[in-house]
Amino acid sequence: MAKTKPGKKDLDSYTIKGTNKFVKVGDCVLMRPSDLDKPPYVARVEKIEADHRNNVTVYVRWYYRPEESIGGRRQFHGAKELFLSDHYDLQSAHTIEGKCIVHSFKNYTKLENVGAEDYFCRFEYKAATGAFTPDRVAVYCKCEMPYNPDDLMVQCDGCKDWFHPSCMGMTIEQAKKLDHFLCSDCTSVGYGKRSTNGHPVSPKSEPKVESKRRKK
């Protein structure tokens, strides 16, 4: 936590200019970029303070989008995925455009609908080195990719692993019509045990959770 400088005072909250919404320490906010063609930056407010002229500044911890990281965006990164970085900054409160919510990965995958204000974070990111914490996550399917909550997946009745329809030579529409599914490995060994329940589409327990949602 940054120390308050002489002549400044800590504030409990700040009302976003032109709105009736207020920001408190710990809230996540959307901040206006210098290049207005880019999407707003996302940050977590660590401190709010005002000087003797009542100019308000916020000390923030930045979230990075995958494309802003050293490794860039990869196939398994969700459209609303962010990385909590170790990059802190002091910004004018006037650059705050609105509030948003950065969910844990587990909570995000439980959302019935994803709104414009909803994001998720499953990694912390060191801006200088490009290192991630955790550095390993569970992988699925033949492609051995981490779970992307935007992608539909189907579960094998045999091994219980989850697979992308495209990796199994199916279309999304075909996958949605399945009552049962056996992956190629289970088919080759003649796995015959089948569930009597309807076939689930997309993982349903963290980190593999129902992914059917409408984006606003």
Q: What is the pTM of this model?
A: 0.79
Interatomic CA distance for residues 184 and 170, integer angstroms? 12
* 152 contacts 201 by C-beta, under 8 angstroms: yes
Interatomic CA distance for residues 137 and 122, integer angstroms? 10
Q: What is the dihedral of CA 176, 182, 187, 190, to 10 degrees?
A: -130
Q: What is the mean pLDDT of residues 125-149?
A: 92
Structure confidence at residue 204 as a pLDDT band (50, 70, 90): very low
Q: CA 209, 210, 211, 216 torsion: positive or negative?
A: negative
Q: Could you tell me the two tokens for 8?
A: 């400044």
Which positions ≥6 away from 177 have C-beta within 8 Å? Answer: none
pLDDT single digits (tens) 30-72: 999 988 888 999 999 999 999 988 899 999 999 999 999 999 9
Q: What is the mean pLDDT of residues 189-210?
A: 46
Assess whether the region 9-133 and the region 138-211 belong to the same CATH fold: no
Q: What is the pLDDT of residue 209?
A: 34
**What's the CATH number of domain 9-133, 2.30.30.490, 1.10.630.10, 3.30.2020.30, 3.90.1150.10?**
2.30.30.490
Peptide bond into 200 cis (omega under 30): no
The domain spans of the chain are 9-133, 138-211
**What's the CATH number of domain 138-211, 3.90.1150.10, 3.80.30.20, 3.30.40.10, 3.40.640.10?**
3.30.40.10
